[in-house]
Structure 1
Amino acid sequence: MTGEPQLMNEEEFWQSSAQRQYIRGYARYTRTSPDAVLGATLARVATVAPPNVVTPALVGAYPSGLAVYVAVVGNSGDGKGLAEGVARKLVPDLLDVGETLPVSGEGLATLFAGRRPLPGNDGENRSRGTELYCVNQRALLSVPEIGSLGATMGRTGSTLEPVLLSAWSGEPLGGQNVDENKRLRVPAYGYRLNLITGVQPANAGILADRDGSGLPQRFLWCTTRDLGAPNTRPPQPTGTFTFKTDRLKELQPTSLTLNVLYSAGARERMPLLENGGDPYPLHVMRYPDEVYEAADRDRVMALHDQRPDGMNRHSLLLTIRVAGLLAILEQRDDLLAVTLDDWKAAQWLVRHSIGTRERCISEGRRMCNRKRADRIADGIESKTLGQQMAEERREREQQRRLQRCVDWIPGYLQDKDPNRVGVPVGTLRNDLTKADRPYLDKAIDVLLQSGVIEKRQGERGGKRYALADM
C-alpha cells in the first residue's frame, strides 16, 4: 500500500521512546505536566547542541540551525515554573551557560560577542583598536511571564522582536555602530539562542497579535495540563535519564575557531586551512527521504501560492527542528541521524503544539470578551471603552508613522547620497511630510542603534547621516 505513513497517536508518542517514557514518568512523579517538561527539556537540549550542528539545506542553499522557542501555557499557579525546574533536573549541565532575561534586541548580541584590545596593546597606544571575539556560543532566555517580553517588544523603536526572529532563523546579529570599537556582530553558525516563556491565556495576544511577523508560529506550545495524570502519585521511574552533554561537547568548535569566525564575520570569509580544508566545518544531521519529500512539497505549494493562510506556515521547519532535537535526545550511537520514528514523533508533537496554541488563544479571547461584558454591565464601558479605543488608535497611528520614517530614510539616502557623504538632518526633515516630521529623530535613533545608518560630521558641525558601510 502506498501513501503517507501512519500518523502517531499520543500514546505511541510517549511509549515509542525510552527517553520520552522516562520524561513522562518523572513528570508525573513530580506532579508536573509531561508536555511542559518535554518542551523545556528540548529547549535545554537545543542549548547544549553546538551552533555548528545543523539541519541540512532541505530547501534553499544553506543549512539551518536547531534553535527552539518554547511557550508553556497555563494560568497562574498551574506549574509553568515547576516544569522548567524539572527539566533543569533532567538536563542540569548547560555547559556553563547562564539563563537570563532579554532586555533589548541590541543587548542580545552582547550574550555572544565582545571586544577586547588587540594583542600588543599596552594601554598607552590606543590606535591599535580592538578585536571582536566570542564571549559565549550558546544562551537560554528564561522568561517566566510573556508579559515582560511583550512590554519590551512593545516599546517604541524596540528591535527585540526582529532580533528574536533573526536568532530563530540563525541569521547574523548585531549592527553597524558608528564607532568600530563598539561594533558587536554575531555571525551565522557562531551562536545558538533558545527561549522558554510562560504564557497565561489572558496574555496570549502578546504573541498571537504578532502572527504577521511569524513570531507565534516559531514557538513550540506546550501545556501545563495532564488529563491522564493518575489520582495516586506514581513512584519515581526506575533507571536513569541517559542524556549526557559530553557527546555534544565533543562536536563544538574551539574558542580559537570561534574567535576566527567572529573576526572574519562569516564562514565564507574565514581563511582556509593549510591543507585547503574547511576552517569551520558544520555537523549536518541526516534525515530520512520522507523529510526531503515533505520539504519539497511545501516549497512547491509556497511557490504556487497554495499554502493555507494562518499561523502554520513555519510548522514544517519547526517539525524538522523538533525531529532533530528528539533524535539528539535519544543519544544513539549515530548521534546525528534522524529516524523515520523521530520524524513521525515530531509531526505528532507539532500538531499537538498547534492545538495547544489555538486553545490558548481562543481562551484568551473569551476571557477578554467576558471582561468587556462585565464592564458594560457595570455601566462604565461606554465612556472608558471609547477613550481606550481612541488611545489605541493614536498609538497605532504613531507607530505607523514612525515605521514609515524608518522605512523611508534608507531608500532616500540610497537615492540622494550614493557616495555616503551624508545628508543634513534639515534636508531629511524638509523632504518629509509635515505629519511625519515629528517622528524623524526617533526613526534616526532606531536606525543608528540597528546599524543601518551612520552619523557624519558636517562642515559646520551640523548633523549629517548616511547609509552604514556594510
Structure 2
Amino acid sequence: MSTAPNWAPNVREAVPGLLPDEFWDARPELQKIRQAAHSKACSGDVLFHSSLARLSGMISHHIRAETGIGGRASLNIFAAIVGNSGAGKSTGSSLTRGLMPAPAEDFRDGLPVGSGEGIAEAFMGTVEEPTGEVISRGKNIGDPVMRKVRKQVRHNAFFYVDEGQTIAKLGERNGSVLGETLRRAAVGETLGQTNASEERTRYVPAGSYNLGLLVGFQPSTAVPVLADASTGTPQRFLWSWADDPSIPDMPPAWPGEFDRHPGFLQPDGPVDVTFPLRVRTALWQERVARARGELEVPELDGHAGLIKVKVAALLALMDGGRTGVTDEDWQLAEVVWESSCAVRDALVVRAQREAAAERQREEDAKVHQVMREHEAKADADLALERVARLVQKHASQVGGVTFGELNRKLASRDRKVARKSIDLAEARGWVFEEGDRLCVKTD
C-alpha cells in the first residue's frame, strides 16, 4: 500500500458504504481518480463508479473474463449513485470524460435511456453490402450491385440516467421491454427485437458489444427499485453514495487525464482476463453448492461473484493493461462489493423503516376511525335517549299526543330520529300507541 497523498484529510468520517482509505491508497490510478474528484468538489466514490461503468462500455468486446464457469463473461458494469438532489450525482459522469478520454473509434458516450429498443438501436446502423450480382451495363459495368442493410455497426456504448425514477416509469409502460433488456445487457446477452419490417428489426448478438450504465437515484426512488429484487434488476448494480465527507477544505490540483487506459486496448481477436486458482476454486465451489441446493444465497447477492469478477478484471486492466487478475485485484474488488452491499443494505433498512412507519400510520388511522365511530355512536345514543325522554314528556299530557302534534313539538334536529325515539320509549315502557296517539303508561 502506498502512502496517502498530502492533500487527503487526516481524519475521514466513517460512513458505512464509502470506499475506505486503504482502497484509495492501494494504487496510483485509484489515488488519481480520488484526487480528480476532490479537485472538483466531487465524491471520490462517485467518480470511481462512474469511471468503472463508462470504462466497461468503452473497452473492446473482445476482452472478457474467463473463470472456468459458464462462458466468457462480459465486463459490463451497472453503477447506481444514491444521493439527495444537488449532491453531485451527475458530476461523476462529466468528470470521467475529462479523466478518461474516449478512443477515436465509434463510441456512444453518455446516451440517455429511452426504451429497451433504443438500447439495442445504439449499436445499429445502415451499411451497404454486395448482393452477389454485378452491374451488367453502363459505365459501372462489372461493379457489384450493392444494397443498404440494417445491422450492428458498433460495439461500445455508455448510458447515463440522471434520475433513476425515469427507468422505473419507462419500465411501467404497456409492452415495455426495458427491464428485460437491461437485465440481458448486464450480462452481455443478445439484445434486440425481431419484427415484421426490416427497419424495426434489431439484432445485437451476445458477446458482440460492451455496455456500461450509470444511474443516479435519490434515496426515495432507489427504494422501490431495491424492493423489486424478484426481477433480478437491483442485484445487477454496484451501489454507491453521492456524499463524501473526505472532500478537503482546499481543492487539490487536477491530476490530468489518463494518457492510456483500457479503452484504448482494441485487440483483433478474443482476449481472456484470467484469475488465480484460489479465486477460480472458490467461485467453482460456490456455484456447485448453489446448483446442488446446498447453499442458499440472499436474493440481492445473487450476482455477487460475477460482479466481483468484472470489477477485478477492470482493476487489472487499469493497472497497466494486465490480463491476469492478482490476489490484490480480487481483494480490492471485494472491498468494492462490500461497500456496495453496505449502501444497498442501508437503503433496504430505510425501506423497511419507511414501510413500518407507513403500517403504523395505517394502524393509527384505523384506531382513530374506530374511536370516531365509537364516539359518534355514543353521541347518537345520547341524542336518542334525550328525544325519547321528550316523547315521554309530550305523551304525558292529558289524552296523550298525536304523531303530528309530536312532530310539531320536536325541534327540527330531533325529528329525523323521532321514529327511533318512539320505539326506544316504547321499549323502555314509558309510552304506548293507542290509535293515532302516544300515551304514557300509568300504574
- Where does the alignment leave 5 or more consecutive residues of structure 1 unmatched? 1-8, 254-280, 383-470
Matched to 2:76, the amino acid is A
CA displacement, residues 290-335 of structure 1 (integer Å, 9 cap, x when unaligned): 2201211211221122132231010110000001111122225xx3
Residue 194, structure 1, aligned to residue 212, structure 2: yes
1:413-435 deviation per Cα after TM superposition (whole angstroms, max 9, x unaligned): xxxxxxxxxxxxxxxxxxxxxxx
Which of structures 1 and 2 has the bigger CA Rg?
Answer: 2
* Alignment-mate amino acid for residue 358 of structure 1: D
Partner of 2:338 in structure 1? 351
Q: Is the 8 A contact 2:98 2:257 kept in 1?
A: no
- 1:55/1:66 contact within 8 Å kept: yes
Shift of 1:209: 2.6
Quote the Cα distance in structure 2 between the aligned partners of 1:195 and 1:346.
18
How big is the shift at 1:366? 3.6
Which residue type is aligned with residue 258 of structure 2?
Answer: T
Give the corresponding residue for 1:219. Answer: 237
Show the counterpart of 1:52.
Answer: 62
Note closer, same or farther for the CA distance 1:316–1:352 as it changes in structure 2 (3 Å cut). Answer: same
Q: What SS class does the counterpart of residue 228 from structure 1 fall into? A: coil
Structure 2 vs 1, CA of residues 178 and 203 (structure 1 numbering), >3 Å: closer, same or farther? same
Task: Supply the distance in 1 between the matched residues of 2:91 and 2:118 (Cα, whole angstroms).
Answer: 28
1:80 deviation in Å?
0.4
Q: Is the 8 A contact 1:146 1:206 kept in 2?
A: no
TM-score, normalized by length of structure 1?
A: 0.65
Q: Would the alpha carbon gap of residues 243 and 322 (structure 1) be closer, same or farther in structure 2, given more than 3 Å must change?
A: farther
Distance (whole Å) between structure 2 residues aligned to residue 313 and residue 192 of structure 1: 22
For residue 374 of structure 1, report the CA deviation from its aligned partner.
7.1
Match of 2:21 in 1: 11
Q: Relative to structure 1, is the Cα distance of residues 178 and 56 closer, same or farther in structure 2, using a 3 angstrom cutoff?
A: same
The one-character-per-residue Cα deviations of 1:205-252 (angstroms, maximum 9, x if unpaired) are 33213211211111011111223333x224226x5453524x643424
- Cα distance in 1 between the residues matched to 2:200 and 2:56: 30
Structure showing the higher strand proportion among its residues = 2
Task: List runs of 5+ in structure 2 lacking aligned partners.
Answer: 1-18, 135-144, 370-443
Residue 308 of structure 1 is matched in structure 2 by 297
How many percent of aligned residue pairs carry the same amino acid? 27
The residue that corresponds to 2:156 in the other structure is 138
Report the alpha carbon displacement of residue 50 of structure 1 after superposing the two structures with TM. Answer: 0.8
1:105 to 2:119 alignment: no
Aligned residues: 338
Q: Closer, same or farther in 2 for the Cα pair 1:107/1:29, shift >3 Å?
A: closer
Which whole-Å deviations, capped at 9, do the CAs of 1:1-47 have from their partners, x for residues lacking one?
A: xxxxxxxx923211111111111222222221111110001112112
Q: Conserved in 1, the CA contact under 8 Å of 2:312 and 2:325?
A: yes
What does residue range 63-462 of structure 1 map to in structure 2 within 5 Å? 63-93=72-102, 95=104, 96-116=107-127, 118-119=129-130, 130-180=148-198, 182-230=200-248, 232-236=249-253, 240-242=256-258, 244-245=260-261, 248-253=263-268, 281-305=269-293, 306-332=295-321, 335-367=322-354
Residue deviations 1:179-220, cap 9 Å, x none? 356422111121112110111110113321321121111101
**More moved, 182-191 vs 367-376:** 367-376
* Matched-pair contact (CA < 8 Å) for 1:147–1:206: no
> Residue 69 of structure 1 aligns to which amino acid in structure 2?
F
Displacement of 1:143 in angstroms is 0.2
The CA RMSD measured in Å over matched residues stands at: 3.0
Change (3 A) 1:229 1:128: closer
- The 10-residue stretch of structure 1 (210-219 or 20-29) with the greater mean CA deviation from structure 2: 20-29
Work out the CA distance in 1 between the residues paired with 2:335 and 2:239: 13
